[in-house]
Every structure is written in C-alpha cells, then in structure tokens.
Amino acid sequence: MTSTETQPAGPDAGSAPDAPVLEVTDLHVTFPAAGQGRDVHAVRGVSYQLRRGEILGIVGESGSGKSVSSLAAMGLLPEYAEVTGSVRLHGRELLGLDDRQLAKVRGRTISMVFQDPLSALTPVYTVGDQLAEAVRVHNPDLPKAQAAARAVELLRLVGIPNAEQRYRAFPHEFSGGMRQRVMIAMAMANDPDVIICDEPTTALDVTIQAQILEVLKTAQRETGAAIVMITHDLGVVAGFVDRVLVMYAGRPVELGTVDDVYYRTRMPYTMGLLGSVPRLDFQDKAPLVPIKGTPPSLSDLPPGCPFAPRCPLVREECTTGEPPLVRVGAETHQAACVRAAEIEANEWTAADIYPVPEIPEDAAAGTPREDREVVLEVDDLIKHHPLMKGAVFKRRVGTVYAVDGISFDIRERETLGLVGESGCGKSTTLMEILSLNAPQRGRVVVLGRESGRLGWRDRFAVRREVQVVFQDPMSSLDPRMPVFDIIAEPLRTHGHPREALRSRVHELLRLVGLEPAHATRYPAEFSGGQRQRIGIARALALEPRLLVLDEPVSALDVSIQAGVINLLDELKARLGLSYLFVAHDLSVIRHLADRVAVMYLGRIVEIGDVDAIYGAPAHPYTQALLSAIPIPDPEKERSRTHIVLEGDLPNPANPPSGCRFRTRCQKFRQLGDDERQRCLDEEPAVIPLAGAADHGAACHYAEERELL
C-alpha cells in the first residue's frame, strides 16, 4: 500500500486548477475464496483521474468490476475484500484509512448514489430524518432545527413537491423516482467534490430516468462536483458524460472522450458493445452485432487478453499476455488492444469485424396485412382488481383499473410490440390473454376461437398454439429438472410420440443455437442468455402460431441480448410465427416489431405501424417516451431536446378524469382553457390519423411530430 499523507481534505486542498480531484491508480480488488474455491479478482488494475466538475462514465456489463471499483474507493466493500493500489482524494490517500477517518470523508467530500432506490433508504426512519442525519453527521454542532431546514431545502432542490410535509414521510410512501431524488439530495447534502452514481437510473422507467438525469445535472450545478457515472446504458453515457472508461473482466479496456470512444473506437469489445445495442433512431432492421460467448469467470481468467476468446480479431499473441492500456490516436484516448493501430488504419467498424448472422427474408413480407389471417384479436378487454380493506370483514374500497378497455389484433407473421412504463397494464394484458378465461368485459379471440367459450378439450388445443417466454430466465426454469425434461415437458403433456421425443428436443436445441449435448445439464450450468434460449426452445416445442414474449431480453446484458434478439428475428422468419412482444425498452421494439401499441394507465394511447409511430409520433405521451430515451450517439444526443414529463404515474385506482395523461401532458399545459376543458371531460378514443395507412392516436389534439 502506498504512503499516507495527512493533508486536510477540502475543496481548496488541491490548489492547482488542473489537479485531479480523485485519482485512482492501479486499483486491485480481490475477494478471497472461502474453502475450496478460487479467489475472485473483481478489479484488476483500474486507473483514472477525475478533474473538478468533470463527468466520467464507467461502462461495462455485469461482472465487469465497475461498481466494485467505486465501492472500494468509498471504503464500502465488506471487510474481507483485499484492496490494493491507490485512491487519492485531493492528493490524500484513502486506502488504508481506518473506518473513522474514512467516515469523515464519505458523504462530505465524496458521496454516492446507489442503483436501487427502493432498498437504499432505511424503512423505519422518515425521509427527512435520514437527510438531516447526513447533514448532522458532518456538522455535529449544527442545531437539529437547522439541519431539518437544510433537509427541506435539499428536498425542494431535487424537485420534491410539498417538501415540508414530505419531510415527515417514510420511504415506502415515496415512488421509486422520488426515492432516487432523496438519494441524490443526500449525496449533495454536504457539497461534495465527487459524486459517484452507481447505475442511478437502471431500476427506473425511461420518463423517470430523464427526470433523474436532470436532477443529477442540477446537483452538479449546485455543488460543482465531479461525477463518476457507472452504467451499462450506452445511451445515458453518450449524452451525459465527458469521458468514458470501458471495463471488461475487471480491467479498463478503453478510455477517452465520448466522441473518441463512440466514433473512433479502437477496442473490439467496445465496438461490439456499441454494435449490439438496438437503435431507436435506425429505421432499417440490420441484424445486431452479437458478441459470441460469455464474459470469462473472474476466478479463472485465461492468461492472455480476457476478451480474446470472444474477439473476432484474435491473433496468437492475444492469448499469451494481457495488452496494456496504451495511447491510440488522440492524446486522451487509450485502448488495450494489440491491433488498435490496425483498426485505426483500416477504419474498421463493428459491422466490418463481427460476423453478422444472415437473417432470411420473411416470405410473407409482401402480402398486405389485410390478407393475412388474424391470429389474435383483443376487443375492449378490461381487467379490474378490487381493492379490499379490513381483516375479517373485507369491504371493497376501490378498484384498480389495471386494463381498461383495450383493442388490438395480430395477424399471421406479424410482431406487435406492447410498450409502456411499469404499472401501465401490459403484463396484466398478457396474463388475461394467456388465461383463456372469459374476460370481465370484451372479447379475446385466439385463432378464431373465443376465450371463455371453450370446452376443456378445445382450450387444451388452443394452448398448443399460444406459448409464452417469460422475463426472468433464472426463475422460469425449474432448477431441479435437466434441460431435456424442461423442453420435453410440453411435448409429453400434449402426447407427442415417445420415440420421437429425443430427436425433437435435439432439433429444438439446435434451433435456438444450443448443443444437443446440453440436454443432460441443469439450468444452473447455463448463462442468462443460454437459459433464455432454453425458455424459447420450450415455448417452440409444440409449434405454436403465436408466441407471447414478456420482456424476454430485459434481464440480459446488451451483448447477450443482441444474440437473443437476432434469434427471435430469425425464428419468426423461418417458422412463420406471430409475436406479441411486451417490453419497456422502445429500442428493442423498434428493432423487432412490425406494429406497436403504446399503453398508459390501462389504455392504449397510440397504435400503428412501427415506422409511422417512431418516425412521427402523434400522442404527447409517445412523444415524451421517445424523447426520454437517450441514443448511443453523442452528437445526436447533444443536439436533442428532451421532453421531461412532470411527476409520477397517477394511482391506477384513481385515474384522472377525461384523458388519463392530462396530469403529466406537456401539450395540455400549452392549451387554452377552452381546449383544456375537453381533455378534462372527455376520454379520447383511438382515432386513425388522417393521411396515415396504419396509425391511430387517442388524443383530442393529436399532432404528428418528428423527434428522432
């Protein structure tokens, strides 16, 4: 460990204007193994400097060591973690300080915002008390009343309405976005010089993410702090940060300004990462760049470049030694690749170096929509949950309008994307369709047969035709069943000939890109992406016509996600499937879907052809949603203006009168009083837009607007 200087830490300590506020040098973090296992080398030599007011993005997939490296800097790792190297804050070494000394620095000079706002606040103290505690712990002499006043001021600063009353609220009374605001208020309480944000928006919906990014910018303006932004979202990085550090397997593999890293990428991993993101702003549906394989285990690393086993440019020398981070091109641009110079000279891009799969052209693409068979028809579907109160004598105190009158249809060989934020009713819609029970109102017709009017034999037959893939590949496969049994189960249930069982399972495994030899293994032996492929194989076993996909890729890392999306694309074309694809990620939907339906509070607000809606959305909510999503293209992102919606989703048990979106609507605010009256009184229905073939919006004042 390096020597410890005892300099007073404070904003003026590093007097030179260009002196780094935070300097991390050759940081290593190892989690020693208990018993038989091997040590986990979570961070292996991270170095970076952070200047005053600068925003540094640290990007990487799960397990790349990006969070661990910053927790190490804060002294927040468990005691058994071995940390070596140097972390200097204003020139003062932090590693090796005892807990008491570190506590004086934490929250005052360097503070942190965590990923999951739902669990980051202590449930038994009020929000205000926790905030005041952050103030008082560093100013013990401050009277309680003043600390409370400061807490209220902070709450107001991060945009919490009625700050005085909300001071006394408990965390569970706040929504996720509001709690994250409180976390940011806590981080800026003592005017820190560095704020570390660990995936601050990952757990939030896009419109809330846009709000939180705004609040973070406010926090930076107020405190003048430098920010370390840890994220896996390349879009957030593009618009928010000055410099980027890309991490892979515990090591930095590329470092530079955003423009250098995005436009003059020199490391194949970064190129693959950028190429694997589905793009909101691209109309043509070129296959995504999948990175083959999975990240290496951090306890058993190959001797050479950790990316070598997955790299398309791998050469013999890559497997002998790990390449150091060296300067490439611009003075501030560094990459860890032996072939960086070659990449520069040939101006290679991701599409040049990665083998992109050929996705066959869909045979039915030419047939007009009207001539194709209707696979699923949903007409005026509702699902209301009663709200009950009382322990012994339950009484109905209200109704949650989870799905409140939605209609759409899906034709053969068509993908309908159902998008919306959490709580909009998209998953409830799926479950209503899959239940095959009579809906509370409206009709669900699957392949011409109406749900709720079938005998058990017919229902059983319909089940063959409609299969589902779930969101979480970890919990949707029985961990005690070998893969063969998992995939064979639907076949056995539906009386598939036993002698053909084995060949069918092997065929399915090959279909989803797995080895037939994998059939004897258990789900735990597979990575997330492979498990999702098993889930897809199981869904395809009975040769369904309609596949219902509930957020099938949202739990996966981008490089893995790309492979699964390509697979879904390919299967649809080869097997002539129809998809009902539920997702909150609008980029994925744009890439996969033919048509899209946008949901808000149990209603469809806009529906139509994917290019029509993404090209010129007409409903203010769709516009806000599309505008809120950051695009992984720094120049485009900088020139965009985001529509930031106010507030949270209203309570679905008590939706606003008239148009449900009016409480947050940016258009509503611009209207005159007479025009507003209509939004207050009359609930808009989905009306086809004039001049568009397949595009309808539920807004009294719908107006197409180009955003991307």
Partner 1 sequence: MFLARRLLNYVVLIFLASSFAYLLAATTLDPRSNYEQLDPRPSQESIEARLDELNLNDSTPLAERYVTWVGGVATGDFGLTIQGRSVNEEIARKAGVTLRLIVVGTVIGCTVGVAIGAYAAVRQYRSFDRVSTGAAFLVLAIPTVVIAVSLQVSAVAINQAAGVQIFQYGGEYTAGLDAGFWGTLGDRLQHMVLPTLTLAIAQFAAFSRYQRNMMLDVLGADFVRTAMAKGLTRRAALLKHALRTALIPTVTYFTFTFGILLAGTTFTEKIYGWNGMGAWVVDSIFTNDVHAVAAVSCFMAVCVMAASFLSDLLYAWLDPRVRVS
The CB-of-707 to partner 1 minimum distance in angstroms stands at: 36
β-bridge pairing 578-583 and 415-419:
parallel
Q: Please pick, from the candidates 69, 111, 207, 209, the single residue that binds partner 1 as defined by CB under 8 A.
A: 111
Q: Is 124 in the site for partner 1 (CB under 8 A)?
A: yes
| Dist CA 196 CA 187 (whole Å) | 9
| Dist CA 18 CA 224 (whole Å) | 14
Q: Please pick, from the candidates 94, 112, 197, 592, the single residue that binds partner 1 as defined by CB under 8 A.
A: 112
Residue with token string 């035709």:
465
Tokens matching residue 352: 């040049």
Q: Which residues pair with 41 in a beta bridge?
A: 30
Q: Which is nearer to partner 1, 106 or 676 (CB)?
A: 106
| Dist CA 148 CA 132 (whole Å) | 5
Q: Which residues pair with 348 in a beta bridge?
A: none
Q: Please pick, from the candidates 19, 103, 431, 575, the single residue that binds partner 1 as defined by CB under 8 A.
A: 103
Among the candidate windows 98-106, 504-512, 650-658, 668-676, which touches partner 1 by CB under 8 A? 98-106
Three-state helix/strand/coil letters over 43-61: EEEEEEEECCCCEEEEECC
Among the candidate windows 116-124, 562-570, 632-640, 671-679, which touches partner 1 by CB under 8 A? 116-124
The CB-of-167 to partner 1 minimum distance in angstroms stands at: 14
Q: Is 653 in the site for partner 1 (CB under 8 A)?
A: no
Among the candidate windows 106-114, 236-244, 273-281, 446-454, which touches partner 1 by CB under 8 A? 106-114
Among the candidate windows 113-121, 206-214, 527-535, 689-697, which touches partner 1 by CB under 8 A? 113-121
Exposed / middle / buried, residue 103 (Cβ in 10 Å: 0-12, 13-18, 19+): middle
The CB-of-137 to partner 1 minimum distance in angstroms stands at: 5
Identify the three-state secondary structure at position 317.
helix
Which positions ≥6 away from 508 have C-beta within 8 Å?
A: 487, 537, 540, 541
Q: Please pick, from the candidates 1, 39, 82, 119, the single residue that binds partner 1 as defined by CB under 8 A.
A: 119
Q: Is 106 in the site for partner 1 (CB under 8 A)?
A: yes
Which positions ≥6 away from 462 have C-beta within 8 Å?
A: 436, 446, 447, 449, 454
- Judge whether 594 and 414 are in contact, CB under 8 Å: yes
| Dist CA 93 CA 522 (whole Å) | 47
Tokens matching residue 123: 């449930």
Q: Which residues pair with 212 in a beta bridge?
A: none
Q: Is 153 in the site for partner 1 (CB under 8 A)?
A: no
The CB-of-170 to partner 1 minimum distance in angstroms stands at: 6
Q: Is 664 in the site for partner 1 (CB under 8 A)?
A: no
- Judge whether 140 and 131 are in contact, CB under 8 Å: no
Q: Is 219 in the site for partner 1 (CB under 8 A)?
A: no
Q: Which residues of 305-316 are buried (b: 16+ CB within 10 A; e: fewer)?
A: bbbbbbbbbbee
**Type of residue found at 205:** D
Q: Is 100 in the site for partner 1 (CB under 8 A)?
A: yes
Q: Please pick, from the candidates 58, 95, 186, 410, the single residue that binds partner 1 as defined by CB under 8 A.
A: 186
The CB-of-222 to partner 1 minimum distance in angstroms stands at: 18
**Which uninterrupted H or E stretch holds 182?**
helix 176-187
Q: Please pick, from the candidates 64, 190, 530, 627, the single residue that binds partner 1 as defined by CB under 8 A.
A: 190
Among the candidate windows 126-134, 317-325, 524-532, 608-616, which touches partner 1 by CB under 8 A? 126-134
Among the candidate windows 52-60, 125-133, 245-253, 616-624, which touches partner 1 by CB under 8 A? 125-133
Q: Which is nearer to partner 1, 106 or 660 (CB)?
A: 106
The CB-of-551 to partner 1 minimum distance in angstroms stands at: 23
Q: Is 108 in the site for partner 1 (CB under 8 A)?
A: yes
| Binding string, residues 25-64; x marks residues near partner 1 by CB under 8 A | ----------------------------------------
Identify the three-state secondary structure at position 531.
helix
* Chain contacts with partner 1 (rule: CB under 8 A): 74, 76, 99-100, 103-108, 111-112, 114, 116, 119-126, 130, 133-134, 137-138, 170, 172, 183, 186-187, 189-190
